[in-house]
Structure 1
């Protein structure tokens, strides 16, 4: 599915006009190219139900459009309705057997089904007669990426970018592949080449900024995003990423100024307002932070980040009873965040709701078993309640999942000491010191009284030598 024309303002206006037509139940004319823009907008946003509705509306006006029939088949595949997608594309193939988009659509269906070898075969068939179609290269990249063949994926994403450097999704997916395969560093020249070839391309500088941002070279990223903005002052995404770069440098006032420029005048987005709220939160300016979180929720009442942010504000002000409401709403809206569950667990524990706290931390470890914080906090409540054996058993389970996490071994050592199981405690400490000597400070952070135990100190000193 290609974006039919490249002017983002025109695309935004087309989508706005279409949505206004729906909201007021009005009749409005859109040509075929405009419908393609509308459908592509929803597909890119993963709003497949809306894309399906737009496609059906378009087919009402253009019932014989092959492009729309193909769009409908691809959208069905993305919605998981594979049988319907196959039926629809078979109908197109019977009319136009040589249409490359038939193979492309079959490749998309195979990718969605997890049949990656078949997907690659279909895309290669489509590519054989259309080597310069950036969307086929992109879909090949997506199939290889889903197949965990990141080098092959990166190769096709790069080909797609050479043909269409303005596709931000391709840039993000390429960077994801390079990051996973630990090949980011060696690709600086690839991204620089676009700015060398066209120094006045705002997109080229923006893409270079994205690369530097992923490499955590924030000064270079800031310079690249600033170049993009000099060339195109209302490049809203560049303002957003410039702000994010400042956040990474903890320059929150500068970040706020850029977030304020990351949307059209008088059209703030919930994301920008929430980001500004978080910046004020980091500056410990509670009232403006609250106001911006509230403004974000006025636009989008289901924005979990803004609910969570307000909970954090109240927790920071030592108002855990009030914070609970916001944390509970955040996990209700997005239950796959271990950070949300852990914050809820901390607040529940703080107000004495021990059972609810334990349940929240258990949920945090289910969502992100690799995060040590949830396990340690969960075990700490058991320990504080005098359930030493349960705390030890819990962390031994965590060790089975992550045997090289020294944090767990240090905590088990402390719990064993509290339970009077000295020999086991010292064996655990040796394991922890072997895995990560520097983390031994955790013992004394959590349990300052252990600093007075000479045997413990001697063992730690032996490992220092």
Structure 2
């Protein structure tokens, strides 16, 4: 591959400068060469070399506006805003029509969180610049800082109208549409963008992603297809294509897509997991387990892998194997609420109620506040005769679910069993108020309580009113 003359000159300048540093000989560079060298080191994160180059540059070209602006940019980066501002004011007196002065002033205002003032400076820069796209992009970013997504979107679109290949602006436009919940409008925008730039794999990928979000899986698949045709090495598009094929129940093709990502780079745990899921959907149980095991081997910290194996064995009613894998998962992360809930579920199925109660308790302790978790936990406490603990747990659950008839009927049943008829009646009436049709919960869980005449009288009286 042949380098362009510009690239060739740039590499020669860089080699010449690095050779000078090694030999301590002072060589001459024009100011533009110095600018490129300094910016190269800044892009590489080599600030000390950039500062060395700047010092030499200013010694050789003390009056160069371009180098002074690079110096100002470095001062702003180092948060030396007052010094940078003073230098900019001096430059402004000499070159009031230089758009870069306004851009750097905007950078200072932005660093001070004065984004409205930054926008004012950037709008001045528009009067003098030839690179409208860059300035529109900067204005868009300032509006993002102000959480004004509509004006941010408008300026990113103006940026793309001037430079349709600006990928960061394209991503930012889509971000604004998404944040504003304008998914269909975003797809329409991308359609018009693709009409002008049909070989933009980024645009096709974004259109596919948005179509997937609104559950238009056919269009999502079509978009990801185009993205991968344009760039066969676009791993993200192949992965998303696989997800779309899964949604369309085309599992064999989904597997091919995921396998293609593995052929392009080292296997990812996510791709392995999805292949396992597809094989399970196809009824290939041995292959499914093989890939689930590969998933947890590739990334033992990925909880979705352990959950997939555990759930596979729960569905197969092979509770011993399910317990084996969930215990392995808990050995790696014993604060994972998803693991503890499954540990509890498996033990409940195996009639190990004390272990199940412990599992539900740990699940709640680590943040599982789902209603069914509370209900299973309480029902096991009741079975174990731990009525006081069950009441405390139900009252705690009521703070999260104040309108749950399931909780109210359980509270009523336990209070009546403890012969606290006042509280029992209170919660029974609450349950009847919330859902009279589900009073059978009381009958199912507390048949002894249900058969009492006092209970039937409360129910009959309430249903008549």
TM-score by length of 2: 0.61
Contact 1:410 1:432 in 2 (8 A): no
Matched, 1:321 2:316: no
Largest Rg, 1 or 2: 2
Structure 1 residue runs of 5 or longer lacking an equivalent are 1-30, 40-53, 75-84, 111-117
Q: Go from structure 1 to structure 2 and tell me whether the alpha carbon gap of 1:359 and 1:410 turns closer, same or farther (over 3 Å shift).
A: closer
Aligned length: 373
Matched, 1:220 2:219: yes
Specify the alignment match of 2:273 in structure 1: 274
Deviation of 1:254 after TM superposition, in Å, equals 3.0
Deviation of 1:240 after TM superposition, in Å, equals 1.3
Whole-Å Cα distance in 1 between the matches of residues 439 and 223 of structure 2?
A: 40
Specify the alignment match of 2:50 in structure 1: 62
Of 96, 100, 105, which residue of structure 1 is paired with 2:103? 100
Q: Go from structure 1 to structure 2 and tell me whether the alpha carbon gap of 1:356 and 1:391 turns closer, same or farther (over 3 Å shift).
A: closer
Contact 1:154 1:177 in 2 (8 A): no
Specify the alignment match of 1:428 in structure 2: 431
Q: Go from structure 1 to structure 2 and tell me whether the alpha carbon gap of 1:173 and 1:232 turns closer, same or farther (over 3 Å shift).
A: same
Show CA shifts across 1:313-357 (max 9, x none).
45444224312334325645xx6x754553355456665425641
Contact 2:174 2:206 in 1 (8 A): no
Specify the alignment match of 2:116 in structure 1: 121
Of 170, 173, 177, which residue of structure 1 is paired with 2:172? 170
Specify the alignment match of 1:139 in structure 2: 141
Q: Go from structure 1 to structure 2 and tell me whether the alpha carbon gap of 1:447 and 1:281 turns closer, same or farther (over 3 Å shift).
A: farther
Deviation of 1:283 after TM superposition, in Å, equals 4.9
Contact 1:206 1:238 in 2 (8 A): yes
1:39-54 superposed matches below 5 A: none
Show CA shifts across 1:415-461 (max 9, x none).
4235433562243243247xxx9xx69959x96989x99979x99xx
Whole-Å Cα distance in 2 between the matches of residues 292 and 267 of structure 1?
A: 15
Contact 2:279 2:288 in 1 (8 A): yes
Whole-Å Cα distance in 2 between the matches of residues 70 and 299 of structure 1?
A: 44
Specify the alignment match of 1:5 in structure 2: none
Deviation of 1:263 after TM superposition, in Å, equals 5.0
1:55-454 superposed matches below 5 A: 55=45, 58-63=46-51, 64=53, 86=79, 98=101, 100=103, 103-104=106-107, 107=110, 118=113, 120-121=115-116, 124-125=119-120, 127-128=122-123, 129=125, 132-133=133-134, 136=138, 139-140=141-142, 142-145=144-147, 151=150, 166-167=167-168, 170=172, 173-174=175-176, 176-179=178-181, 183-262=182-261, 265=264, 267-283=266-282, 285-316=284-315, 317-318=318-319, 319-328=321-330, 331=333, 339-347=338-346, 352-354=354-356, 356-365=358-367, 369=369, 371-388=370-387, 390-403=389-402, 408-417=404-413, 419-420=415-416, 421=424, 424-432=427-435
Show CA shifts across 1:19-50 (max 9, x none).
xxxxxxxxxxxx888877xx7xxxxxxxxxxx
Deviation of 1:242 after TM superposition, in Å, equals 1.6
SS at match of 1:262: helix
Deviation of 1:260 after TM superposition, in Å, equals 1.7
SS at match of 1:261: helix
Deviation of 1:382 after TM superposition, in Å, equals 3.4
Show CA shifts across 1:165-223 (max 9, x none).
634753663354133xxx43454422322233334433322222122111122222222
Contact 2:115 2:142 in 1 (8 A): yes
RMSD: 4.8
Deviation of 1:237 after TM superposition, in Å, equals 1.7
Q: Go from structure 1 to structure 2 and tell me whether the alpha carbon gap of 1:136 and 1:284 turns closer, same or farther (over 3 Å shift).
A: farther
Whole-Å Cα distance in 2 between the matches of residues 124 and 241 of structure 1?
A: 37
Mean CA deviation greater in 60-69 or 318-327: 60-69
Whole-Å Cα distance in 2 between the matches of residues 238 and 138 of structure 1?
A: 27
Q: Go from structure 1 to structure 2 and tell me whether the alpha carbon gap of 1:61 and 1:306 turns closer, same or farther (over 3 Å shift).
A: farther
Contact 1:358 1:381 in 2 (8 A): no
